[in-house]
């Protein structure tokens, strides 16, 4: 049975669990070790059951608890070389460091995994696709600009966690200082609701059945706005939400199953 659950999601912290019942993978740990333990307990899981942590990039909303949980529970940490270099604060021992490369498939236990490059203002950031019990599942967040390389990698995913970070107008008229607004809107920032919605449509047209929007900005978005943008673009194109695809928004603080 495939479990794909967003534990927390948003600019305040991100962590996702993927499991086929035999291999349990955590993707990012943007919360403390104690919070992770609580969060996993709420879905009947414990940190001791995690076989590996995969990190997308070094930003704190993805790595806050990475070092602690890796050391405490002796969990290996898979990341690109650039991400490992940038997250030396995690103080991992050599045995815990596992280097991965973009576009090279590898396996952890019973799950096959491939990382793909994403345009984001980090050292060597990636998204991931997983083959879990014959189902393709993907995580695509922290994307400044959607591109064909990403789409080709996540194409055919049955389930996807897709970034829908901000409403462009809320961001433009919102409280963030100008340089931060410019960073988020840049090609190495974050994906807007409208681009997420268009990407979701493309994915649904290529076989995706379950879309979960995530990594929402706290100040420049609201779950109902992100949802409405995707809902409108999908239904305008003739997609029947509920029949053709399930559409959800990942909760900021609580586990949400895809």
Determine the size of the site formed for Zn ion (CB under 5 A). Answer: 3
Q: Counting contacts by CB under 5 A, is residue 58 touching Zn ion?
A: no
Among 20, 58, 142, 167, binds Zn ion (CB under 5 A): 142
Q: Which is nearer to Zn ion, 79 or 234 (CB)?
A: 79
- Closest CB to Zn ion: residue number: 59
> According to DSSP H, which parts of 155-192 are helical?
168-173, 178-185
Among 59, 136, 166, 248, binds Zn ion (CB under 5 A): 59
Q: Which is nearer to Zn ion, 14 or 208 (CB)?
A: 14
> According to DSSP H, which parts of 26-98 are helical?
33-41, 60-63, 66-73, 81-86
Q: Counting contacts by CB under 5 A, is residue 61 touching Zn ion?
A: yes
Percent helix, percent strand, percent coil in the chain, to nearest 5: 30, 25, 40
The span from the CA of 222 to the CA of 193, in Å, is: 10
Q: Which is nearer to Zn ion, 59 or 248 (CB)?
A: 59
Q: Which is nearer to Zn ion, 100 or 239 (CB)?
A: 100
The span from the CA of 117 to the CA of 253, in Å, is: 27
Query: Which range, of 15-23, 43-51, 103-111, 134-142, touches Zn ion by CB under 5 A?
Result: 134-142
The span from the CA of 170 to the CA of 167, in Å, is: 5
The span from the CA of 87 to the CA of 100, in Å, is: 15
Using CB under 5 A, list all residues that contact Zn ion: 59, 61, 142
């Amino acid at each position: 049975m495939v479990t794909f659950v967003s534990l927390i999601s948003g600019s305040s912290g991100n962590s996702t669990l993927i499991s086929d019942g035999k291999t349990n993978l955590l993707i990012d740990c943007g919360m403390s070790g104690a919070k992770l333990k609580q969060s996993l307990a709420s879905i009947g899981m414990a940190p001791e059951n995690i076989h590996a942590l995969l990190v997308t990039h070094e930003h704190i909303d993805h790595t806050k608890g990475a070092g602690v949980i890796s050391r405490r529970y002796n969990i290996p940490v898979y990341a690109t070389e650039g991400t490992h270099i940038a997250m030396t604060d995690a103080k991992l021992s050599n045995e815990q460091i596992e280097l991965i490369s973009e576009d090279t498939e590898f396996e952890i236990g019973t799950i096959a995994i491939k990382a793909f490059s994403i345009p984001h203002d980090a050292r060597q950031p990636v998204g991931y696709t997983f083959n879990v019990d014959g189902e393709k599942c993907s995580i695509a967040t922290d994307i400044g600009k959607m591109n064909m390389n990403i789409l080709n990698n996540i194409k055919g995913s049955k389930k996807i966690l897709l970034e829908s970070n901000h409403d462009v107008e809320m961001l433009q008229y919102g409280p963030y200082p100008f340089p931060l607004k410019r960073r988020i809107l840049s090609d190495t920032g974050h994906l807007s609701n409208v681009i997420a919605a268009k990407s979701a449509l493309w994915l649904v047209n290529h076989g995706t059945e379950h879309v979960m929007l995530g990594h929402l900005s706290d100040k420049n978005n609201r779950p109902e706005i992100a949802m409405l943008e995707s809902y409108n673009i999908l239904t305008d194109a003739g997609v029947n939400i509920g029949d053709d695809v399930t559409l959800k928004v990942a909760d900021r603080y609580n586990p949400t199953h895809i």
